[in-house]
Structure 1
Amino acid sequence: MDNNLQLRPLEKEDLNFIYNMRTNPNIMDYWFEEPYTTKEKMNKEYENSLNSDSHRSFILYHANERVGYLGLFDIDKRHRNAEFAIMFDPAHQGKGYAAQATRLTVEYGFNQLNLHKIYLYVVKHNEKAIHLYEKVGFEIEGELKEHFFVDGSYHDALMMGLLRKDYNNE
């Protein structure tokens, strides 16, 4: 585990960093969104999000360098659950940051937001990501047939979840 990883809340000066990832098709395919946005749209989304409690967005740092973007989205205060998502700058992929970054975010969700459950979606053929999420404690809860349209075809997806009581027992 690399103790040099840190989460910091998203700031306006981080938007160019995120823009570069959100316009990269190789990254956005795994976020199940098209790689299309504008800096102006991102600025407006950021400004609108300042008064919202529906998500927590973070920049992941390693040794004072931005390496990724992650967060908890669609936070449901009544049912106390949220969706987890993560993306890394291509220059920092494959360096072993994902498990600890996921744990940092999960711990924030459980310990700061008092969430009961954190869930995510992953394409079924992304075995590396599935293994990583299982390593953190997520379990497969269901399969969604041909749920995401990526790179010209439909792909099955898995919904994975992690309950607070199960995470704390690890």
Structure 2
Amino acid sequence: MGLVSDVTESDTDRLRALLASQFDLAIGDLTEDARFVEDLAFDSLQMLELHGIASDLGLAYSDGGLAETFGELRSLYHSRTSDGGSAGTRTVAQAGDDGREATATKPASRQGRLVLTPPLTTAIFDLVPPVHSDVPFLYALATSSETGHRWRYQGRVPPVEKFETELWQSVLTQFVVRRRADGEPVGLVVCYGADVNNGHASLGAVFTPRVSGSGQAVQVVGKFLGHVFDNWRFHKIYLEVPEQNFAAIRSGEGKVFEFEGRLKRHFFYQGRYWDRLILAVTRERFQNLRDSELRDSGTNRPAIDTEEE
């Protein structure tokens, strides 16, 4: 019993050290009840990175999310290792930058065929074209008090007939986001305002509160962004973000997107004026991120060393 306890504590220390290093946290911050979003201030991009680390460790998570606290993540990790699973298992061995062997998932293009059209799907969600039966969900999403203020109508409630007529107004392409498990719609991603001659467009996304901020939404947006860059010769995609929502993606500045402008006191919400921020993702930056992901498949993250008897 004592040996099992010692191993468990050792695993906890390794997991805590990995997360502290990856997210620039103090070891002491990662207490059992430390909540990633509320207490450690993880934004959506950091939650996505956390999901990636969990995947590297062989931890599966449901559509409800991975874990809200460090203690929950630790429990998942201990369950994985105690069941005989090996954390971080990959299908193909590769050499890391330091010459040591690392393991990684082999991209489809290295398995004998080049995938010219990557599927519009993630581990949890499918992106499908909207149809007439989606209108009630999309109308509710656009007019909800939780999401409507930052979407097309900004708090106004149009007649549903007008909403359906305008659904494709100024839109280049859009997809409803559905859970793969049961087909339930959870969001919408849109590319609009396309200027094909000058090579730029804008991207918008809205999700139900349960999905927003979990990191899963960012993964879907990344998939959609890749689809847009793959199918149109845009050199830049703009994101217009309400000032109060920027905190959800702040860690991506300079890594994923550039800050290009601020429209001061641009819209009114909850009794005050807010700025609208103009962000941009360039083709070059996005391609570098995607190439890095395909090349390393997450193995650029510090690994949890395990001892083999």
TM-score greater than 0.5 by the shorter chain: yes
Aligned partner of 1:109 in structure 2 is: 228
Aligned partner of 2:166 in structure 1 is: 45
Aligned partner of 2:130 in structure 1 is: 10
Rounded to whole Å, the distance in 1 between the matches of 2:124 and 2:146 is 27
Rounded to whole Å, the distance in 2 between the matches of 1:110 and 1:58 is 15
- In structure 2, give the amino acid aligned to 1:9: P
- In structure 1, give the amino acid aligned to 2:236: K
Rounded to whole Å, the distance in 1 between the matches of 2:129 and 2:194 is 16
Aligned partner of 1:34 in structure 2 is: 155
Superposed CA deviations along residues 77-128 of structure 1, whole A, max 9, x for unmatched, are: 1112111111112343344321111101110110012221111111223243
More strand by share: 1
- Which residue, out of 259, 277, 284, partners 1:140? 259
- In structure 1, give the amino acid aligned to 2:197: R
3-state SS in 1 of match to 2:284: helix
Rounded to whole Å, the distance in 2 between the matches of 1:30 and 1:105 is 20
Rounded to whole Å, the distance in 1 between the matches of 2:148 and 2:233 is 29
Unaligned runs of 5+ in 1: none
Rounded to whole Å, the distance in 2 between the matches of 1:62 and 1:132 is 27
> Taking structure 2 as the reference length, what is the TM-score of the superposition?
0.49
Aligned partner of 1:124 in structure 2 is: 243
Q: Is the 8 A contact 1:29 1:151 kept in 2?
A: no
How many residue pairs match? The answer is 166
Matches within 5 A, 1:156-167: 156-167=275-286
Q: Which structure is larger by alpha-carbon Rg, 1 or 2? A: 2
Q: CA RMSD in A?
A: 2.3
Superposed CA deviations along residues 107-163 of structure 1, whole A, max 9, x for unmatched, are: 011001222111111122324333265497122111221112222321112100011
1:38 to partner: Cα distance: 1.7
- In structure 1, give the amino acid aligned to 2:175: F
Superposed CA deviations along residues 42-77 of structure 1, whole A, max 9, x for unmatched, are: 22224xx3xx77421210122222110111111111
Sequence identity percentage? 29
Q: Is the 8 A contact 1:99 1:132 kept in 2?
A: no
Q: Is the 8 A contact 1:25 1:35 kept in 2?
A: no
Q: Is the 8 A contact 2:199 2:234 kept in 1?
A: yes
> Taking structure 1 as the reference length, what is the TM-score of the superposition?
0.85
Q: Which moved further from structure 2: 160-169 or 125-134?
A: 125-134
3-state SS in 2 of match to 1:125: helix
Q: Is the 8 A contact 1:137 1:167 kept in 2?
A: yes
- In structure 2, give the amino acid aligned to 1:57: Q
3-state SS in 1 of match to 2:276: strand
Unaligned runs of 5+ in 2: 1-51, 53-121, 290-309
- In structure 2, give the amino acid aligned to 1:159: I
